[in-house]
Amino acid sequence: MSSPLAYLHGKIVPFAEAALPLHDAGFVSGATVVDNARTFRHKLFRWPDHLARFRRDCQTCYVPLEMSDEQLTATAEELVSHNARLLPPGGELQLVTFATPGPLGVYLGESANGPPTLGMVTYPLPFGRYRRFFTEGVTLASAGFQSSNLADVLPPEIKHRSRLFWYVAEKRVSDPVCEDHCPGAVPVVFSQNGVGDTAIGGILVVVNGAVIRPDCGTALDSVSVKVVGELCESLGVPFHYAPLDMRGLTGRKQHTPPDPTVTHAREILLAGSGFCLAGAKRFVSGKHGRDYEWPGPVFRKLLAAWSDLVGVDIKKSFTDTP
């Protein structure tokens, strides 16, 4: 078969035939738990970590996940094996796994809901989307606030598909009449406590040679940030957790007193499944901004270690792949 395959409703089907009914809770309510993993040399990277987080999030969100880990892994590997054969030379895949509570009976005049929906799809890794991360660095831009904390009904560590506020954030930084206008920047949304996150990766800061990440549970539970922590340990680079108030990273006095960790930051790192690790050269908020060392020494050291880990020159894969 010369077209990509997907998994939905218990079957492997052509991607073009995979569709959710309009009364599925994932469509009606945005009730979708999701995971996004990538391949290196057509093999899934850190799949056990992605799978464990996906299963945990499904349980937290009361979304039934009836397949075993072995069945999920076999299905994922089957899709990757087939769809990777359709890629051009040097191409890689991203695998999206999602689950919803399933169809809502009330929309059909029925009393019963379900059964739950489980799906997997792949798409080619968009090297072009992230190329500038490695040629010119990342620009981060404040796009506003979205209150969140550990006690929320839906805590910030859960990875889900209810992405409307990220869509709005992206539009705000690209809107020329908006105060947050900064075309080409990666939007950052802050919690009420100043913890910043993005739709594509977790933010870490480098202070006095140490890598610091937000406290557990205050931002998305990132597999890529976990990899950074392990690489830091192997390299002897200090890696800490802290209640980071990132608003001061923009150079704008948005909080009092200023967070000393933020004040002394030299580098900003962005870790995400698609691109692995990138460095930020600037963080802006409206007309205010602050420049950072790019490419910084800690970023270069960690990127080299990640490349060694996967046996691929990560920077070159993004700068040289068509």
Q: Quick count: other Cβ atoms within 10 Å of Cβ 178?
A: 14
Q: Helices (H), strands (E): how many in the chain?
A: 9, 15
CB 84 within 8 A of CB 26: no
In whole angstroms, give the CA distance from residue 273 to residue 171. 23
Q: Is 0.85 topped by the overall pTM? A: yes
Residue at token pair 């002897």:
236
In whole angstroms, give the CA distance from residue 34 to residue 32. 6
Domains detected in the chain: 5-125 (3.30.470.10), 131-320 (3.20.10.10)
Element (H, E) at 28: helix 25-28
DSSP output for 135-200: HT-EEEEEEEE----TTSSS-TT--BS--HHHHHHHHHHH-TTSTT--TTPEEEEE-TT--EE-SS
Q: Tell me the per-residue pLDDT of 254-309, one tens digit each, with 9 for 90 and over.
A: 655 667 778 889 999 999 999 999 999 999 998 889 999 999 999 999 999 999 99
Look at residues 310, 247, 308, 318 and name the one whose alpha carbon lies nearest to residue 278: 318
Element (H, E) at 12: strand 11-14
Residue 321 pLDDT class (50, 70, 90 cuts): confident
Q: What is the pLDDT of residue 254?
A: 62
CA–centroid distance for 159 within its chain: 8
